Each structure stands twice: as structure tokens, then as C-alpha cells.
Amino acid sequence: MATVDASRWSLHAQRELERAGRRSGRARAAVVELLARQPCCVSAGEIAERLRDEGSPIGTASVYRALEALHELGLVQRLDTAEGLVRYEPADPDGDHHHHVVCDSCGRVTPFEDDGLERAIALVARRLEHDVNAHDVVLRGPCPGCRRAGGA
């Protein structure tokens, strides 16, 4: 599974924020550092909770402001999951990425990569004569646990 190089993404994000004239603050730096360490997407609430657990009492509103700034600059990807919950993960500057399967019942997010899917997307782009610079694939359906429990 491709993951973003934490220190490289963190430095890249800080440089891009500075280049865009965004003020450097403790909350934004803490959000960037925490996001850089995540293997997949997390919600703003999870970020705020993890920061508090690490001794950085950053408010949820500050986390949302930091995430919005990062999203505006294309530094994070947003993933809409079950029940309107939005999750965020670093966008690799090299374009490496993974996709997600989201359980419609419990909201569980499972990352995956698939070379065949990437080839199919490239074929569709060629057939449509369209330049595809980025894409998001989110598959939805019940996870194994919810299926066994009869939740979906």
C-alpha cells in the first residue's frame, strides 16, 4: 500500500502554506504533523482527539480551519464517508495514491490499490480523449462485520 513519506509531505505542506501566504501557527503545524503520520484518512474530530491525547490541546475549530487551508491548496484529499462524516488524508505530491471502500452501515474505511483499476481509468481517459490529472474512487457497501451482523 502506497503511503505518503511523512517528513517529505510535512515539509512540502509547510512550504506550500508559506508560499500561499498562510500564517504559520501552532495548530496548523500540529495538524500537518499528525496527518503526515496517518496511514489513511481521519476525521477532524479524530485529529483533535489525537492531538489532545498527545498533549496539544488544539480545538476542533482550529483543526477544521487548518484542514480547509490544506484542502484549498490541494495538500489533502477529502473523503465523504457514512452519515456525512468527512475524512482527510495527505495528498502525495508525486501523485501516488490509494482508493477506499466505505461501509454504509458503520462507516469503516478500507484503503486499497488496484493496478487493473488504474489501467482502466487510463483507458477511459484515452477513449474520451480527456486529460485525467487526478481521480477519486470510493466504493460503498457493507463491510464483512456488518454483513455478518445483518446490519446491511
Q: Select 98-152's CATH number: 3.40.50.11540, 3.30.1490.190, 2.60.40.420, 1.10.150.530.
A: 3.30.1490.190
Give the span between the Cα atoms of 146 and 112, in whole angstroms.
19
CATH number belonging to domain 1-91: 1.10.10.10
List all residues 6 or more positions away from 97 whose beta carbon is below 8 Å from its beta carbon. 2, 77, 91
Query: What was the pLDDT predicted at 142?
Result: 93
How distant, in Å, are the alpha carbons of 93, 112, 122, 133 from that of 125? Answer: 21, 21, 5, 10
Query: What was the pLDDT predicted at 135?
Result: 83
Enumerate residue ranges in the chain where pLDDT < 50: 1-2
